[in-house]
Amino acid sequence: MERIRTLVVAQPLMAVGVVLVLAFATGFAAGTWRFGPSVHSGMAQSAEGAISVESDGWFYGVPMDIAWTDGQNSFHERGRPDCLPPSAGPIPIRFSAVEVNAGAVQWRQVVWVDCRATQ
């Protein structure tokens, strides 16, 4: 009888423990594995034929023909962002990038620039 009572108590506790471990693992994975674009802020260097930006220890090349949002909140599908003209000094910007993995090579590709943040 004592053995049956022990099993009745132990099984629900084990089930609760398994659920807690699964919940923790799911939360950890959701917090560390990011899919899709991520938004960053950084300082851009903008020249006539190239744009780069440094953010959180990463250096990004910004395509000259990219989607961007202007200071009046209008979306542009392509072109050079108005907030990144050729400049001698750094320009603060906000942008979105995606992680790209091609075999052993990994980089972050800029896919959008937000010129609203520089106004």
Structure-token pair, residue 89: 């000094």
In this structure, are strands 91-102 and 75-76 parallel, antiparallel, or unpaired?
A: unpaired
The mean pLDDT of 56-70, rounded to a whole number, is: 95
**Percent of the chain, pLDDT > 90?**
64
pLDDT of residue 36: 82
The mean pLDDT of 78-103, rounded to a whole number, is: 94
Q: Tell me the pLDDT of the chain averaged across its residues.
A: 82
pLDDT at 94 over 60: yes
pLDDT of residue 117: 72
Q: Break the chain into its structural domains and give their ranges.
A: 1-33, 38-118
**Percent of the chain, pLDDT > 70?**
69
Nearest of 58, 64, 59 to residue 46 by alpha carbon: 64
pLDDT at 81 over 60: yes
Statement: the pTM of the whole predicted model exceeds 0.75:
no
In this structure, are strands 67-69 and 105-114 parallel, antiparallel, or unpaired?
A: parallel
CATH of domain 38-118: 2.40.50
